[in-house]
Amino acid sequence: MLHLDRISDRNYLPTEQDIIHISSVVQTLGISDYVFDVGKIQYCVYDVGGTRSQRKKWIHAFENVDIILFQAPLGDYDKPLREDEDALNMAESLTLFESLVNSRWFVNTAFFVNFTKMDLFEQKVKSRQKPLSQYHPDYQGDPSDVKAGVQFFVDQFQERIKERKGSVHVTVLDATDTAQATLLLQRVVQVAEAKKMRCSSFI
Ligand SMILES: Nc1nc2c(ncn2[C@@H]2O[C@H](COP(=O)(O)OP(=O)(O)OP(=O)(O)O)[C@@H](O)[C@H]2O)c(=O)[nH]1
Ligand SMILES: [Mg+2]
């Protein structure tokens, strides 16, 4: 709406931000893989779809990957799943995370749990129009306290982790902010380097 004039211009060229935002209409289907080098490490990165039907395609295909980048859309706490109106996005993320992090296949895998859409979370919580407790009744904190809301979800995820060897890193970010995304990827590279992996696989 705000960008209609810009994108309907005859000479329109998409910006980096346009490309980052286009994926709301382009859902990931199947498995995409990318291979590239950073320093001495070769990375094999797999991008997989998060919806229920997509998950069936990959859930058993990534045994023993080195690192999992798990995206949990914090700012969608009020939104139901595309595929099931009765299930909330963050509740589904929590269930999926619990099954992956405690799976014997991923016992040595390092997890990065990235709480994304922090920008949207902040706007919604501050506006008080979508109280967290209305969607997640276990939240009993101040309805407009962004920090307490984030902590609620961090605790929920941490409570689901049973004993494991691989590390779990938690990041809260606006994934469309390339500076924040770069910082996250730098941390991922540090973990990969520390593991001295020859070929790292991410999902
Ligand atoms: N404002 C904001 N938008 C985000 C953020 N992260 C993702 N988005 C947007 O949310 C939409 C969906 O993001 P995707 O990365 O495609 O989601 P996905 O998890 O890959 O979804 P599937 O491919 O269906 O599994 C895109 O339009 C993104 O630009 C964020 O942190 N803040
Ligand atoms: Mg995707």
Q: Strand 31-38 to strand 168-172: parallel, antiparallel, or no bridges (unpaired)?
A: unpaired
Q: Is 92 in the pocket of ligand 1 (CB under 6 A)?
A: no
Atom of ligand 1 nearest to the CA of 174: 31
Query: Letter for the amino acid at 125?
Result: V
Q: How does pLDDT run across 180-193, given as a tens digit for each residue?
A: 999 999 999 999 99
Q: Is the pLDDT of residue 75 over 90?
A: yes
Atom of ligand 1 nearest to the CA of 21: 29
- How remote is the CA of residue 180 from the centroid of ligand 1, in Å? 14
Q: Is 70 in the pocket of ligand 1 (CB under 6 A)?
A: no
Q: What is the pTM of this model?
A: 0.91
Confirm or deny that 61 is annotated as ligand binding.
no
Task: Report the distance separating Cα 159 and Cα 60, nearest Å.
Answer: 24
For ligand 1, atom 24: residue with the closest CA: 27
Task: Report the distance separating Cα 16 and Cα 25, nearest Å.
Answer: 16
* Cross-strand pairs, 36: 43
Q: Is the pLDDT of residue 199 over 60?
A: no
Q: How does pLDDT run across 101-136, given as a tens digit for each residue?
A: 999 889 999 999 999 999 999 999 999 999 999 999
Task: Report the distance separating Cα 81 and Cα 88, nearest Å.
Answer: 6
Q: How does pLDDT run across 12-28, given as a tens digit for each residue?
A: 999 999 988 886 667 88
- Tell me the two tokens of residue 70: 């798990």
Task: Report the distance separating Cα 20 and Cα 143, nearest Å.
Answer: 30
Model confidence band, residue 77 (pLDDT cutoffs 50, 70, 90):
very high
Region 31-202: CATH code: 3.40.50.300
Pocket test for ligand 1, best of 23, 46, 77, 119 (most atoms within 8 A of CB): 23
What mean pLDDT do residues 22-42 have?
Answer: 85
φ/ψ (deg, to 5) at 82:
-60, -35
For ligand 1, atom 11: residue with the closest CA: 24
Confirm or deny that 178 is annotated as ligand binding.
no
- How remote is the CA of residue 31 from the centroid of ligand 2, in Å? 10
Q: Is 178 in the pocket of ligand 1 (CB under 6 A)?
A: no
Model confidence band, residue 196 (pLDDT cutoffs 50, 70, 90):
low
Q: Is 100 in contact with 68 (CB distance < 8 Å)? A: yes
Q: Among residues 1, 196, 9, 200, which one has the least CA distance to residue 112?
A: 200
